[in-house]
């Protein structure tokens, strides 16, 4: 007769279509759990599961790894409960260990400059478009979905600002740096040539996309290629990294948090506050390097 663990794994494969690697990971985690409790798994209690989690923590495993193992145990006991092999689910109210949110990745100002300079030749329309998108995204901290969906008339050149419709179609106005405005104005000429008399409601049109504008994926791939040209690892580049860089650089130049929050379109300021951790780390590094007491000769 198959064990409960094997029955559970068969269900995961047949009903949920779990991949082989996922099945094997579940198997390892559940065998580890069963070896730990040293009793029939159908008689396990919540204290057994809590003790298992505590034991994992004592082994210096990361919260992410512990959470993965606990997830396997949860799914297993949910299966046993649904199959009526147990009357109560001992894993139902077990909390996962708190996982620290990773700090946002960002580029240095020198790296942003390298990216901008890497597309300076602009031999064709796509390079003019990429240059304008790059500068506008970094200048305004736009989400990539906002960037590719920008309408043609989104920029007020007199007020030097852009109107963006973010999550929930909420409007926000963001000031735009002069250099980005000049880039977009120059790009507009090449946009007209590209459209060849045709009309498009989009600031960044594409004749190849069903939507009529450049896609997120196309912009992402163009950024990767540009990173290689700029001598930056493409693994470090994404549209969201540009958004993170915008926020981090503003805070490093003492722009207040509330202003950054409004420009990013964050509902809750705690979402924006994560960037202050980056600034704090930068400050600590500067103190370590430059404080008089840190000098070796003192």
The three-state (H, E, C) secondary structure of 214-270, written as one string:
CCHHHHHHHHHHHHHHHCCCHHHCCHHHHHHHHHHHHHHCCCCHHHHHHHHCCCCHH
**Exactly one of 78, 216, 224, 266 is catalytic; which is it?**
266
Q: Which of 72, 59, 63 is nearest to 28 (CA)?
A: 72
Annotated active-site residue 244? The verdict is no
Annotated active-site residue 249? The verdict is no
**Exactly one of 129, 191, 213, 243 is catalytic; which is it?**
243
Q: Which of 173, 179, 194 is nearest to 132 (CA)?
A: 179
DSSP class of residue 162 equals E
Annotated active-site residue 167? The verdict is yes
160 in Cβ contact with 175 (< 8 Å): yes
**Exactly one of 68, 224, 240, 262 is catalytic; which is it?**
240
**Exactly one of 275, 282, 289, 296 is catalytic; which is it?**
275
Annotated active-site residue 28? The verdict is no
Annotated active-site residue 275? The verdict is yes
Annotated active-site residue 38? The verdict is no
**Exactly one of 28, 167, 236, 277 is catalytic; which is it?**
167
**Exactly one of 143, 191, 244, 249 is catalytic; which is it?**
143
Active site residues: 143, 167, 240, 243, 266, 275
């Amino acid at each position: 007769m198959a064990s409960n663990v094997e029955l559970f794994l068969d269900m995961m494969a047949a009903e949920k279509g779990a991949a082989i690697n996922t099945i094997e990971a579940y198997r390892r985690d559940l065998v580890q759990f069963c070896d730990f409790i040293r009793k029939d798994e159908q008689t396990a209690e919540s204290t057994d599961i809590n003790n298992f989690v505590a034991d994992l923590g004592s082994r210096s495993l990361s919260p992410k790894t512990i959470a993965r193992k606990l997830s396997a145990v949860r799914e297993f006991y949910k299966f046993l409960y649904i199959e009526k092999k147990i009357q109560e689910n001992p894993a139902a109210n077990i909390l996962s260990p708190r996982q620290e949110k990773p700090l946002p990745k960002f580029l240095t100002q020198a790296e942003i400059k390298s990216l901008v300079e890497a597309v300076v030749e602009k031999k064709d329309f796509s390079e003019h478009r990429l240059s304008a998108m790059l500068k506008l995204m970094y200048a305004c901290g736009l989400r990539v979905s906002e960037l590719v969906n920008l309408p043609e008339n989104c920029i007020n050149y007199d007020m030097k600002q852009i109107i963006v419709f973010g999550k929930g179609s909420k409007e926000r106005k963001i000031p735009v740096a002069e250099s980005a405005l000049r880039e977009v104005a120059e790009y507009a000429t090449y946009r007209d040539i590209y459209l060849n008399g045709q009309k498009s409601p989009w600031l960044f049109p594409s004749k190849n996309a069903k939507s009529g504008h450049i896609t997120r994926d196309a912009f992402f791939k163009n950024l990767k290629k540009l990173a290689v040209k700029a001598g930056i690892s493409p693994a470090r580049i994404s549209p969201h990294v540009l958004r993170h860089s915008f926020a981090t650089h503003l805070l490093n130049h003492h722009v207040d948090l509330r202003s950054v929050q409004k420009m990013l379109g964050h509902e809750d300021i705690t979402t924006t506050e994560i960037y202050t951790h980056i600034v704090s780390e930068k400050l600590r590094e500067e103190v370590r390097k430059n404080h008089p007491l840190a000098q070796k000769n003192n």
